[in-house]
Amino acid sequence: MSKKYMLKELLLPLGLIVISLISNAQTNDSVFRLPVFEVIESPLQKNLPLSRINASQIELIPINDLGEILRRESNVSGIRKGGYAIDPIVRGYRYSQINVFLDDGIHIEGGCPNRMDPVMSHVEPELIQQIEIVKGPYLLQYGPSPSASIRLKTRPGEMAFKKGFGVKSITGYDANRNGLKQHLTLSGSNERSFIRVGGGIKNYGNYTDGKGREWKSSYHKKDISADVGYKAGKSILTGFSYKGSFGRDVLFPALPMDEIEDNTHIFSGYFNHSNPLKPDQSFSVSAYHTRVFHLMDNSFRPQYSMIVPPNTGIMQAVASVNTSTTGGRVAFSHAVQKLKFSHGADYRITKKDGTRNMLMIMEMDGQTFTSGKSFNLWKESVINNSGAFSGVEWGYKRFEVSSILRFDLNQASSGDTLLIEKNERTWFESKPVDQFLISFAVNSSYKISEKTSISLGIARGQRSGDMQERYIKFLATGYDRYDYLGNPDLKPETNFQTDLMLRSNPGKVNFSLNLFRSQISDYITGSLVPPSVARPVSQGAPGVKQFNNIDKAVLMGFEASADYAISTNTSLSFSAGYTYAYFPEIERITFENNQISGTEMIKNDPIPEIPAFEAMFSLSHHFVKVKIKPVISFRAVACQNHVSLDAYEESTPSYLISDFFVTYTPFRKISIAAGANNLFNTAYYDHLNRRLLGSTEKLFEPGRTLFINLKIDF
């Protein structure tokens, strides 16, 4: 290879990053192909926009929770509200539009109305074997998947039956947060059985941004886990698992309260039977039960201390929520000639109950007056979902096709007695609602040549409203500070999506491009409730919004990636992602003298909280003789000026940051990683970051973060 040609190959990705910074391409999502990133095919998952992240990548980088690692994936971003528990956004899809689950469909219902405990915050990164991300309503075997799926694989694999005793230790230190983590796993096994127990602690302080400002973001977490498995012959596997996660004093400067206590318990069991002589034949049964207790208050906020200035008032608030999810799944597969079939059914019952207590303290003329009130956030709310699916795969020469059809019966009810009626219209009435959902996906692929293929995916995914959208009452749960009111009569949200994918591997270059378009009908979002119907309860809330369906929303964009092997030990990676999202028509609230004056209809308004165009580039080299591998990466994010008029959303500036780390493997069982994130201490924030409470300023990202991690596995 000539030096001139190599120089061009090095400059091209750097040039693309500079272009991304100065372009006005203005909408979407996050990008970075990780060095150990894999794309693996499995039954009914061929030809999907699917990617996997392995445990080996997660273990040696300074992440606090799984949301941080996902932000580095192409067209995946996240909402930061503090130093922990980033809430993922996939192609602009969020919250219940993303089906997040463990293993064979274990679901967890978080407790916080402000989503300070999204699903992934209940699972520690050290327990992850693999993360699977499907960008679209294609993974229908594990529950309704309306727009995307994130599967967290935690069960031990075949290596768990390797005979002997094992110890795995992961230790990490983060200088920016003065944070320390330690996780230890002990295991013992033979050819027929295994047992694995583990636990860990995390103690992290406040972080500082690139300007040296400290953000109240400290937290403390502990976790424990246990797995046992037994193999009867070569065809039958039975296993049981427990995971516990316990958070304390988790601070969120961009939310009205902090997490005082969070206790999560996950119990599961599974049975798998496979036919060694017929790999396409299998049968599995699994069941699980998860519980979450979530307690939050504002006791860490100085403005809510018991020292009350004269003639002023303070509000102390405490909220507690109990949730549980119980479910099960049965699935089997078989083959008839060239056709491979998969069938199954699953059931899930989710319960949620919570209250909020508020105490107003006033001091006037030397006397202190107190008044309190208590009301339900949820009152014995229950959602049952029963589903069944059937899929088939078929291939002929260069052509492959797979399809899956899913039916769901969603039943919701609540013990709430709230009734809001005004002007001969019922705005809120908690009555049982049954909804029947139909989802399907068809994916096909054609091999143009031995190294190039093109794929087409077409899907329809549906979801019913979640607990918050149906039953929440007068709480500021969004970024816009309005109090939100649930709507038990919400229609199901329906996503029609198409993905066109091109993959090519001509020699040393591995290239992929994915174009997508999604149209969601009956999109669920908030709309203004007249003040004569309901007034806000939360301090500072400008009004009340109720979850309602609007006609439709459109999301479209792309992901692209390229890997180039400069030599056996040196490689370049580049990736980029972009999502453009808008409402063809939506109602906007108008203001006059800082007071709500009415509404107006606007057209083609951007959907709020859509990340900007983003690109990433990384260069790595493996010094084999000294067992050292340095990696440097650059992340470039364009300014986001394509913002919502309806939500009065503000634009955000562009930025460029760099990360650098080195891994050293002195022995096969020991690995050390050290380096710096945000190497040049850039002061920046992502478009999705929430605003600091009581301010229009966004929550900034951490500044330079020096870290060192040690992994011992033998």
Q: pLDDT band at residue 312, thresholds of 50, 70 and 90?
A: low
The helix/strand/coil state of 18 is helix
Query: Ranked by mean pLDDT, which of 39-43, 176-180, 279-283, 366-370 comes out on top?
Result: 176-180
Q: By mean pLDDT, which of 554-563, 617-626, 689-698 is the weakest?
A: 689-698
Neighbours of 639 (CB within 10 A): 19
pLDDT at 207 over 90: yes
Averaged pLDDT for residues 196-218: 95
Evaluate whether 368 touches 308 at the Cβ level (below 8 Å). Answer: yes
pLDDT (0 to 100) of residue 19:
33
Q: What is the pLDDT of residue 303?
A: 54
- pLDDT for 35 beyond 90: no
- The 10s digit of each residue's pLDDT in 335-345 is 998 899 999 99
Helices (H) and strands (E) in the chain, counts: 4, 35
- Separation CA 337–CA 342 (nearest Å): 14
* CATH numeric code, 3-713: 2.40.170.20
> Token digits for 496?
């029609």
Q: What is the 3-state secondary structure (H, E, C) of 185-218?
A: EEEEECCCEEEEEEEEEEEECCEECCCCCEECCC
User: How far is the C-alpha of 658 from the C-alpha of 636, rounded, in Å?
Assistant: 9
* Mean predicted confidence (pLDDT) in 423-434: 89
**C-beta separation of 346 from 327 below 8 A:** yes
Place of tokens 């977490």: 221
Confidence of residue 46 (pLDDT cuts 50, 70, 90): low
| Residue 361: half-sphere exposure toward Cβ, Cα within 13 Å | 14
Residue 591: pLDDT band with limits 50, 70, 90: confident
Residue 63 confidence (pLDDT) above 90 = no
C-beta separation of 217 from 203 below 8 A:
no
pLDDT at residue 463 above 60?
yes
Strand partners, 633: 618, 659
Residue 328: pLDDT band by 50, 70, 90 thresholds? very high
What are the structure tokens assigned to 709, written together? 């991690």
End-to-end CA distance of the chain: 41
pLDDT in the model for residue 158 = 75
Q: Model confidence at 497, in pLDDT bands (50, 70, 90)?
A: very high
CA 60 to chain centre: 21
Predicted local confidence at residue 184, as pLDDT: 96
> How many angstroms separate the CA atoms of 83 and 98, rounded?
22
Mean model confidence pLDDT for the chain: 87
pLDDT of residue 23: 36
SS3 391: strand
Please state which of the ranges 380-389, 457-466, 476-485 shows the lowest mean pLDDT.
Answer: 476-485
Report the candidate in 702, 710, 714, 711 with the shortest Cα–Cα distance to residue 204.
702
What per-residue confidence (pLDDT) applies to 45? 60
pLDDT digits (tens, 9 = 90+) for 506-548: 888 899 999 999 999 999 999 888 888 888 887 778 889 999 9
Sign of CA dihedral 180, 212, 649, 32: negative
For the chain, what are the domain ranges? 3-713
Query: Degrees (nearest 5) of the Cα angle 78, 81, 85?
Result: 65
Q: Using an 8 Å Cβ cutoff, are 127 and 154 in contact?
A: yes
Q: Under a CB-based contact definition with an 8 Å cutoff, are residues 478 and 484 in contact? A: yes
Write down how long the chain is. 714
- CA-CA distance, 336 to 575, in Å (whole number)? 40
Query: Do strands 570-592 and 544-565 pair parallel, antiparallel, or not at all (unpaired)?
Result: antiparallel
Q: What is the Cα gyration radius of the chain? A: 26
Position 44 scores a pLDDT of 56
pLDDT given at position 708: 94
For residue 302, the model assigns a pLDDT of 67
Q: Among 154, 156, 153, which Cα is nearest to 40's? A: 153
